[in-house]
Amino acid sequence: MSDHICQLEDVSTGTITVFLGLIGLTLIEYSVARKAFGAHILVKNFLQFSIAVVVYWLIGYAFSYGNTKSDFIGEENFGSDKWLTDQKLNHGACFSYSVLVGIFIIFIVNLAVIEKVSYIAYVVYPICLLIWIWPVVVAWGWGNGWLSGIMDDDIIDNGGSITVYTFAGAFGLVGAIVSGKRLGRYDEPKHFRISSPEMYVIGAFLTILGVLGIGYSQASGHGGIALANMWICGGVSSIVGLKLLTLFNKNLNDHYIAIYQGFIAGMVFIASSAINTRPWVSGLHGLMSGGVFWFGIMIVKWLKIDDPANVTGTFLIPGIFGGVLPGFIDNDWGVYFAGWESGQTLGTNVVGTCVILCWSIFWAVVVFGALWLLKILKLGVDDSLEGAVINQKGFSKNN
């Protein structure tokens, strides 16, 4: 394993801010869901957290970072083997940060299936994600696999536009499609607005911290400029998203979404370019991000896909654009500033974005499709109407 794959800018700061981001995503989920679902969300999210820690410790971390000799997947350090004896490789800090990023992905997926999937499904897909599906993606790029070792130029994805947001957004969108629409979602949309604006706002601020933490932690000595570029792009994106989304619609619910999730979309858009691009470039691309965010919101509405917390517009489409963007605007390797002779980086990022997008979609179809075929994916009609009920042993509708 390379001595450099876990060299983070500031692992303690990154770990804390990503953890705060998990609280933020939980509060967004809580505030978007109807009131009756609140208790269910607060129980299952921390269960998912605990399950993810255990499975990533035992298996997923080794697949991510355990010496990618095959260039495809890690092959050693299962169950924390050699963590104590190889402390110079920083396994403990790398695990702490990486598992929280993996849980960040799980919580993004949660936003796409709010009120729609069963308690069993909420347990199954985090296990699949953190044992195998996401660790393979980590190994390819962050773990010095084929996207770093075989291609002529390494993939540029320090901020996670591809590895985190494209991956999570694609997995979530498939989950939203396969789990179907909540009863009355498009017939009576007023019943599906933000139920707790105060919780939503707090959650959005904390989620912003989580996104910043992912970008800052992997900034490779350029943390200051990365933070600045993410603030700038986020701010511009928020303003543009607000004007586009509320131009003919004065609904306060859409104002919340445009301002806060438009800002998050801007940070996702610029995340992987932020460490090495010029602030005015970030500002200009914030204009594009606002449009991309608006498009993502509108295309889901037009197709009548029930994506409760707008994962497609906030994470998936900005993540795809952001994954390709370093090939254009990176100050040293992007074609805008280094010329088309440096186009190998653009090619690597395009390939990486497409492959990881397809990988995520494929496994999402497998996981959610299998749950659907087994008839354990969706909530029952009664639970969908009355609020999620944990119908496991020891729980009842009266508890």
Q: Tell me if 352 sits within 8 A of 162, measured CB to CB.
A: yes
pLDDT at 310 over 70: yes
Q: Tell me if 347 sits within 8 A of 142, measured CB to CB.
A: no
146 vs 244, which has greater pLDDT? 244
Mean pLDDT score of the chain: 88
| pLDDT tens string 146-174 | 887 666 678 899 899 999 999 999 999 99
Show the domains of the chain with their CATH numbers. Answer: 11-377 (1.10.3430.10)
> Which 3-state string (H, E, C) describes 153-193?
CCCCCCCCHHHHHHHHHHHHHHHHHHCCCCCCCCCCHHHHC
pLDDT at 278 over 80: yes
Predicted model pTM: 0.92
Res. 9 pLDDT band, cuts 50 70 90: low
pLDDT at 92: 84
What are the φ and ψ backbone dihedral angles of 378, each rounded to 5 degrees? -95, 155
Query: Please, what is the Cα angle at 64 between 63 and 69, to 5 degrees?
Result: 70
393 vs 41, which has greater pLDDT? 41
What is the number of residues in the chain? 399
pLDDT at 283: 97
Res. 302 pLDDT band, cuts 50 70 90: very high
SS3 (DSSP) at 393: coil
Share of the chain above pLDDT 70, in %: 88
User: Stretch 16-40: mean pLDDT, rounded?
Assistant: 94
pLDDT at 382: 55
**Secondary structure letter of residue 12 according to DSSP:** H
pLDDT at 49: 98
Res. 385 pLDDT band, cuts 50 70 90: very low
pLDDT at 399: 37
| pLDDT tens string 67-113 | 756 667 877 778 877 777 766 667 888 899 999 999 999 999 999 99
pLDDT at 360: 98
pLDDT at 192 over 70: yes
Res. 384 pLDDT band, cuts 50 70 90: low
pLDDT at 191: 83
SS3 (DSSP) at 398: coil
Q: Is 249 exposed, middle or buried (0-12, 13-18, 19+ CB in 10 A)?
A: exposed
